[in-house]
Structure 1
Amino acid sequence: MQTLWKRLTCALLAGGIALASGAALAQPATGRFTIAVIPDTQNYADFTHQRAAGFPFDARDMMTEQLQFIADHAVSRGGDIVFATAVGDVWQHPVLAIDPEHAARGFRPRPAPGGANLEKMAEGVRTVEIPASIAAYDRIDGVLPFSVVSGNHDYDGQWWEEQWPQDLTAPPGDLRRLGMIHIGGLTAWNQAFGAGTKFFKDRPWYVASHDGGADSAQVFEAGGYRFLHVGLQMAPSDASLKWAETVIHAHPGLPTLITTHDFIDKTGQRRAHPVVDLHALDPFDNDAQGVWDKLIARNPQIFMVLSGHHNGQAFRTDANRQGGAVYQLLSDYQDRNQTALDAGLAPDRAPGIGDGWMRLMTFDITGDTPTVRVRAYSTHYRQYASDQPEYAHRYKPNEQPQMTDADFVASDDFVIRLDDFRARFGPGAAAGSADR
């Protein structure tokens, strides 16, 4: 990945594109628009990260700030953001020890390492975490099309699976010593962000859903093109993937983006977290490679995949079975804790928060070769990554310690050339017809 970021840095400079400064987004122009990517927000919503729980500030305010920023810069309000997609892990804690469906299939929870007070967690989810999440998304309700997918922390049940015990023969520091976590149940999720909620019911851009809205599809128009977005739940089943393919076939020829919680890790590999390898636990669940093989590689409309889950950032490109490029991006800043340090917490007591960082992907369809400029922006610090002198010092050691400072900054400010976009999706509509 380090070599890749060096190439991206050179491409950025060679293209004559100035590094971003300030928070202002350009006004919508023909062929230029932005998609906002909302990384894991679980640490903002966490009920233990609020003043009422003794934390020095209400972390949920940072989630609200992110959504308000998107609303303020939406096309409908004079900005250039046409769509927003959240990669999952909206809130933090479970509400059940195990969901009924998995219990009926023979799965069993074992005591969590270190213990956990499920009753307290469930109360925190119901009274703080879910209400805070809904209140944040109220900021963009009716303002622009958007998608929210579920991450492992959003499921009703999240448990250490008895059938996958701790491996105490593994060396110290090896996460296999902990065993494996399984998840299940989306009742709370679908009540908050399902197809029947106020956010999506009867919205003309919300074109399809599956499993109550855990999988969903949206359309939006920008730059002379109509786009399709498909959001998939964590480790989607074969049924979810077949549904997604049906939706794609019902919208032939549309440039298609996929968002799912777990796809690539911070090294750019399609590799599950060693403690949350759902496919290893349960053949019902597909891992990232399964999603690639069964859906993405075989459907040439899909040109981009967005994900979170793994702390850090990554980018890779692969050809699908027809030879078309598929750009895959990881965006997850949940472990960043500078705001906790700023509030006076000691380094060993400052939890990951997120520091307001999100991803802004600005498409420019005006040239012969369309491009996407990908930047990290903090709504808390009101700075892009490339504008913050301390950026690499603050975040590189925990995310990409092997990178140089320049490569690390470039990993959050780079340009993707969509070399085959026109060949795959045509010239687009007449100027200005879809910038709305």
Structure 2
Amino acid sequence: MSTDWERGAMDEQYGGTSRRGLLGAIGAGAVLASGTLSAGNAAATGPAQAAQAARRIDTEHPQFTLAVVPDTQYQFDQDRGDAAPLTATFKYLIDQRAEQNIVFMAHLGDVVENAQASEFAKADPVFRILDRARFPYSVLAGNHDIDGSKDDTRGPSPYLDTFSPQRFRWMPTYGGSTANGYNSYHVFRAAGRQWLLLAMDWRPSDASFAWARAVIAQHPKLPVILTIHELVNADHGNPVAYFSDHGNRVWEQLVDDSDQIFLTLNGHYWPPGRVTRKNAAGNDVHLHITNYQDRYYGGSGMVRLYHFDLARNTIDVETISPWIMAQDPARRNELAEAEIELSDDTNRFGIPIDFARRFAGFAPEPVRPARPAKQLVIPGTAAYWRFDGPVADKVVDQSGQGNDLTRVQLSNDLPTASTEYHPDQPGHASWQFRGGKNPARGGYLKTADNAPLNALTFPKGYTIEAFVKLADDGQDHSWEGLFTRLGTGRDAGKTGSDPDEPAAKLGFSGGLQVQWAAYPADKNDTFTNWGHEQQAGEWFHLAIVNDGRHSVVYVDSSELLRNPATPSNGLATAGKPWLVAAGHYANKIDQAFAGNIGELRVVTRPLKPSEFLNA
């Protein structure tokens, strides 16, 4: 599975192995949009500044990474083992913290093999690497870390001596622990919101489950990630996970009735696997097992990187061994070469999650308040129509310029008032138009014959913007018009390639591509801007901006590609009306628009995206 994560900057340091990283889809450095510096950018300012910048993360950027380290027990096994793989993993996470926006690391238990103090004495300095770097993390006890025959009321242990609540108190993420010290929770900020992570013992007692439920209740709007040593299992040859007996208990006592828990991560068993289950609220819970102790070199310090992307509504997951990545490729042995990255579908995959919808039950996104029309009548506004009232024969021009619209019906397919609207739309309603063709049917609106807008040629540029949802009715609405100037090129004195084309038309092709085709005032032929294919049934904001020289199409404030480089100025006119929700050819209405229109504004100057109606 390909991802949008690209870490090419690490190729040289990590033995030339091509890596994926956070910035591939959005451009280098964009993760640091809130003002932090990447380590690469800071290098020129000196080692101290670079080291400081490398520790920074961007808590507001929609992409972030959660690192997950499972069972490391064979690296700390009496007089056997090797701390080098886990050391390399922790150093890698610190090195990559800014570039991949790694906000937190969770260990899934079984830090050591035999629960001996001497083993924890070897593991302790490795975790101190994270402490010194002020890198927040959680640890929980697996069955090899303590007396596995007892629950978390077991009392003191070498594990607790090493990973007591006191160890985590320096972390701003640390929220607290159970009185016995074996369960803890962290709250970290990422993608502009807070997230709660529970680190639960190998065998939580009933009291600890009650504590976990209380912690969640104390943070009622936070999405929750549960980390625990045992929950689901998977079989070789079948990566679909299933509950262990203890996992059923965890589900029943904690997960099922806690809708905030959307992701669970556990180790203990191998091979890795995953499954999705519906909770009591009917929402998906993603349950993952990740463990590599059965593989070469005790798992080679494998780390799972959960790359959250709230802009794309997905979590991209990859599994790598930084220890092997750092080795000289010429000296890697055959077994190590196969473990650099696990690229099968079980260890490298994507999880589609509509985060807003999944979290709506406990943290609904606030509805942007409606804004009165007078706030949107900015300097240069030539016309502003809002379709947020009942369907009427007249739509008032809110700009005060007198460009009111009158409704025209081609058939009995009347438009209807709708409560649907774009989430960033100032007016909280729309009209649904039911246009079609062969023959032309539906209804549209037009300015009066003497409306001031009809004569404007926009010599200083213009902005035309609208909130639109195209009909998803399966019918052919190809080349339908949204906003069209009546009168042809011939009527405006133009003799270009097809003088029967409208003087100006904003519409959509048969492939639902945006098309702005217009005769400029200073040219004899049409100039056409193209957009990409829009999705029927989905709201979007559309804007055409001309700065007096060039026209540019924007969708949801994003500049599109296919904009003419040849200069053009103004718009030709025959002094005839503008049509809303219709197009024409040779002054004959060929069809009316099908879909919803929320509002439409025309301004006699170019606007920046920060000035658009959806800003």
Instruction: Normalising by structure 1, report the TM-score.
Output: 0.64
The aligned residue for residue 256 of structure 2 is 297
Letter of the structure 1 residue corresponding to residue 145 of structure 2: D
Could you tell me which runs of 5 or more consecutive residues in structure 1 were left unpaired when the two chains were aligned. Answer: 1-11, 51-58, 95-124, 162-180, 273-286, 340-352, 396-405, 431-436
Aligned residues between the structures = 308
The aligned residue for residue 34 of structure 1 is 65
Partner SS for 1:153:
coil
Letter of the structure 1 residue corresponding to residue 95 of structure 2: D
Correspondences of 1:2-41 after superposition (within 5 Å): 12=1, 17=4, 22-23=18-19, 25-26=21-22, 28=31, 30-41=61-72
Structure 1 residues 249 and 25, CA, compared in 2 at 3 Å: closer, same or farther? same
Letter of the structure 2 residue corresponding to residue 238 of structure 1: D
Residue 392 of structure 1: CA displacement?
Answer: 12
Matched, 1:244 2:267: no
The aligned residue for residue 319 of structure 2 is 376
- Map Cα deviations across residues 138-172 of structure 1 (whole Å, 9 max, x no partner): 111152321101000010x357x9xxxxxxxxxxx
Matched, 1:327 2:286: yes
CA distance in 1, matches of 2:180, 2:213: 17
Name which of 349, 373, 378 aligns with 1:414: 349
CA distance in 2, matches of 1:196, 1:184: 19
Name which of 137, 140, 150 aligns with 1:149: 140
Matched, 1:226 2:194: yes
Q: In the alignment, is the contact (CA less than 8 A) between 2:182 and 2:201 conserved in 1?
A: yes
Residue 312 of structure 1: CA displacement?
Answer: 1.8
Greater relative CO, 1 or 2 (CA 8 Å, sep 6+): 1
Q: In the alignment, is the contact (CA less than 8 A) between 1:317 and 1:326 conserved in 2?
A: yes
Correspondences of 1:52-131 after superposition (within 5 Å): 59-75=82-98, 78-94=99-115, 125-127=116-118, 129-131=119-121
The aligned residue for residue 193 of structure 1 is 163
Letter of the structure 1 residue corresponding to residue 113 of structure 2: Q
CA distance in 2, matches of 1:144, 1:19: 22
Letter of the structure 2 residue corresponding to residue 382 of structure 1: M
The 10-residue stretch of structure 1 (60-69 or 217-226) with the greater mean CA deviation from structure 2: 60-69
CA distance in 1, matches of 2:156, 2:294: 25
Q: In the alignment, is the contact (CA less than 8 A) between 2:114 and 2:145 conserved in 1?
A: yes
CA distance in 1, matches of 2:144, 2:18: 33
Residue 22 of structure 1: CA displacement?
Answer: 2.7
CA distance in 2, matches of 1:392, 1:136: 22
- Map Cα deviations across residues 89-142 of structure 1 (whole Å, 9 max, x no partner): 001113xxxxxxxxxxxxxxxxxxxxxxxxxxxxxx333x21221111111115
Q: In the alignment, is the contact (CA less than 8 A) between 1:303 and 1:326 conserved in 2?
A: yes
Structure 1 residues 234 and 43, CA, compared in 2 at 3 Å: closer, same or farther? same
CA distance in 1, matches of 2:18, 2:364: 34
Q: In the alignment, is the contact (CA less than 8 A) between 2:4 and 2:21 conserved in 1?
A: no
Structure 1 residues 316 and 355, CA, compared in 2 at 3 Å: closer, same or farther? same
CA distance in 1, matches of 2:293, 2:154: 22
Q: In the alignment, is the contact (CA less than 8 A) between 2:108 and 2:227 conserved in 1?
A: yes
Matched, 1:357 2:302: yes
Matched, 1:138 2:128: yes
Letter of the structure 2 residue corresponding to residue 304 of structure 1: L
Residue 211 of structure 1: CA displacement?
Answer: 3.7
Partner SS for 1:315:
strand
The aligned residue for residue 514 of structure 2 is none
Q: In the alignment, is the contact (CA less than 8 A) between 1:232 and 1:259 conserved in 2?
A: yes
Residue 74 of structure 1: CA displacement?
Answer: 2.0
The aligned residue for residue 269 of structure 1 is 242
Residue 265 of structure 1: CA displacement?
Answer: 0.9
Instruction: Normalising by structure 2, report the TM-score.
Output: 0.46
Letter of the structure 2 residue corresponding to residue 32 of structure 1: Q
Partner SS for 2:230:
coil
Give RMSD over aligned pairs.
3.3
Residue 393 of structure 1: CA displacement?
Answer: 11
CA distance in 2, matches of 1:25, 1:139: 23
Q: In the alignment, is the contact (CA less than 8 A) between 1:39 and 1:86 conserved in 2?
A: yes
